[in-house]
Amino acid sequence: MKTSFIIFLLSLIFATSCKKNTMTTLDSKVQPPIVAKKPTNLEKHDDVRVDNYFWLNDRENQEVIDYLEQENTYNDKMTAHTKKFQTDLFEEMKSRIKEDDSSVPYKLNGYWYLTRFEKGKDYPIYSRKKESLDAEEEILFDCNKEAEGHSYYRLSGLSISPDNRLAAFGVDTVSRRKYTIRIKNLETGEIYPETIETTTGGSTWATDSKTLFYTKKNEETLRSDKIYRHALGTPVSDDIEVFNETDDTFSTFVYKTKSKKYLVIGSSSTLTSEYRILRADDPTGEFKVFQPRIRGVEYGIAHYNDHFYVLTNADEATNFKLMKVPEGNTAKENWKDVIPHRKDVLIEDVEIFKEYLVISERNNGLNKINIKRWDGTADYYLPFDNETYTAYVSANPDFDTKNLRYSYNSLTTPNSVIDFDMKSKEKEVKKEQDVLGGKFDKNNYVSERVWATAEDGTKIPVSLIYRKGIQKDGNNPLLQYGYGSYGSTIDPYFSTARLSLLDRGFIYAIAHIRGSEYLGRSWYEDGKLLKKKNTFTDFIDCSKSLIAQGYTSADHLYAMGGSAGGLLMGAIVNMAPELYNGVVAAVPFVDVVSTMLDDSIPLTTGEYDEWGNPNEKEYYAYMKSYSPYDNVVAQEYPNMLITTGLHDSQVQYWEPAKWVAKLRELKTDNNLLVLHTNMEAGHGGASGRFEALKEVAEEYAFLLDLESIKE
């Protein structure tokens, strides 16, 4: 859930304006591009919207490409004076990272698997060792070699066959999340001729190590809509379609249970789930529906012994409950409670072991890990001792073990990977995140959780970190981050890169606004559909509270968000531009109405349960009332840095491009507005390990320059 942002910067030194003490008048010799206005009337529900920049949605139009390039050139000119600072920040952040690093190995089916990086290289190396960590290393994939000749490269969905001989893997070299699956013989190094195009990248082997199941994407919408079965050594054109998800609000996927007994096809929308199961040793058999979909009922399944365990919101279990059902009769009427619903505890996930059940929970916004023995002789929680931490169950592929692997970090504490003996309750820290350079001491920083009061009286939590000794006099620069959609929760996490802001006097805040599940499922329900505006007003009210408490002021407050968080940025600058000196909006979803009316755009139909379907008048009117692009008006706006990727499949590049054009047309200030389009990347930004870090350096230079911090 964490996304890297392509961020760009400021460029001239500004004289003090009447409103913000850090800005000056822009150099009139450097003029932004002028984009042609070509009005298009968009009519729905007897309402006509005039979109002057609708024509920018054609990436094959050379005039569009020329405009994006002109914006990039303008951005380069306006940020020229910060280039050295960007380089210095990049080197500073890179110097904290151990370049020759490796993951903690995990054991699966007789092999220890690990991922490592070598000094000076951008991409991971995947390897394994047979039985013992002292055994000879077997290189599976060196992505540094595979990435040669590509400006973007990502390997995903590495799937090892049960006989350990083969690896299926997906590769994307465009950043549009259209992966090509290939199969490699790990004994000979040969990559087989089978080439499976336009997939999610993920795949699952049957028990025979000869049959592979994978998910195809629709070529136009990129919706994951079909599951295929491939027999090793046969033409891909002969692959059998085993499932077609015809409801365009659902996506489908395939995996194998941790017990290895069942293959599972899942279908899901925002509000509804459905699964099909098939014994993994019978790959040509017919998948059986586990429980037919019921609108509004979500469930997930895990297999253990002769039962399935079902995590579900059925029976009005808003925060979910855990149930079980015999594997031979899985219909909902046979589900029985294991852990009943609790109003104050959200069950987020479960992990099943031979002797233990591990439940990931959230209570009052905090992560909890509950461990139970199946025989009832143990039931306890792992102890955590503050309010600004993140703890989560990590990779645990081994079913028959008493060791639980989990990770822990906080705003002030680097990440640790911990193996916990569930029987003896002893823990072993397998790896602590290194912060190189000899300057970091967590005792120099303070983290806390404060609460803001929203306009409707709701208390909104905010996690903060800053260096010790700050004065609450309103003069501190503060970066407030938010997301607030899809129930995705941004937990308080440690960042080595963030130290470059903190050590220069910035406070960093995460606003846990409605639309996430930070305070349970109802917290999400109160920030979606016809309650979406709560997300925006919560963020604004958090800003007002931080100002009122003296942490910062409007002259020194900054906001940041990406994707759906970019929608948040677009909304707050329309609603309360006076609160912020600068805003970073990365790959922002800002043309809500037009996008949600276009069911040919990737992901649109699957989003109806999140935003509403604007083909219905009520949702159309509500969306239009907050859609950032539709609500740009003649007023002053903060300094803004807006980024996108030409190949973005989630938020199309033309949304931020149109938004910038309209902002330039209507805004009444002289504040900086720059757009940067990565012409080679998509939603996640650059693929290289340190290329992504350069983007963070650009982002931070933007913020620091607004504060007249030059080094």
224-231: long-range contacts at Cβ-Cβ below 8 A with a sequence spacing of 24 or more? Answer: 224/200, 224/251, 224/252, 224/253, 225/251, 225/252, 226/252, 227/252, 227/254, 227/265, 228/196, 229/283, 229/284, 230/194, 230/196
Helix (H, G, I), strand (E, B) or coil at 616: coil
Contact status, residue 557 vs residue 480, Cβ threshold 8 Å: yes
Find the helix or strand (DSSP H, E) in which 229 lies.
strand 224-231
Structure tokens at 190: 């040969």
The neighbour count for residue 180, using CB atoms within 10 Å, is 15
Contact status, residue 626 vs residue 592, Cβ threshold 8 Å: yes
Q: What angle do CA 469, 474, 478 make, to 5 degrees?
A: 75
Taken in order 683, 686, 689, 692, the sign of the CA dihedral is negative
Helix H, strand E, coil C: the string for 450-464 is EEEECCCCCEEEEEE
C-alpha span between 292 and 275 (Å, rounded): 8
Contact status, residue 173 vs residue 150, Cβ threshold 8 Å: yes
Structure tokens at 612: 């509403």
C-alpha span between 121 and 147 (Å, rounded): 11
575 phi/psi in degrees, rounded to 5: -85, -35
The neighbour count for residue 235, using CB atoms within 10 Å, is 10
Find the helix or strand (DSSP H, E) in which 359 lies.
strand 356-363
Asked if 45 is an active-site residue, the reply is: no
Structure tokens at 262: 């069942």
Helix (H, G, I), strand (E, B) or coil at 560: strand
Asked if 683 is an active-site residue, the reply is: yes
Contact status, residue 672 vs residue 637, Cβ threshold 8 Å: no
Contact status, residue 312 vs residue 323, Cβ threshold 8 Å: yes
Active-site choice (303, 553, 683, 687): 683
Helix (H, G, I), strand (E, B) or coil at 277: strand
Contact status, residue 287 vs residue 242, Cβ threshold 8 Å: yes
Contact status, residue 366 vs residue 381, Cβ threshold 8 Å: no
Structure tokens at 273: 């789930």
152 phi/psi in degrees, rounded to 5: -140, 140
**What contacts 172, CB < 8 A, 6 or more positions away?**
152, 153, 154, 156, 178, 179, 180, 201
**What contacts 647, CB < 8 A, 6 or more positions away?**
174, 175, 176, 653, 680, 681, 682
Active-site choice (563, 627, 649, 687): 563
Please name the amino acid found at residue 687: S
C-alpha span between 358 and 703 (Å, rounded): 42
Structure tokens at 284: 């040509």
C-alpha span between 609 and 485 (Å, rounded): 12
C-alpha span between 673 and 667 (Å, rounded): 10
Active-site choice (122, 239, 591, 648): 648
Distances (CA, A) of 412 to 214, 252, 494: 41, 39, 6
**What contacts 383, CB < 8 A, 6 or more positions away?**
none
Contact status, residue 220 vs residue 248, Cβ threshold 8 Å: no
Catalytic residues: 563, 648, 683
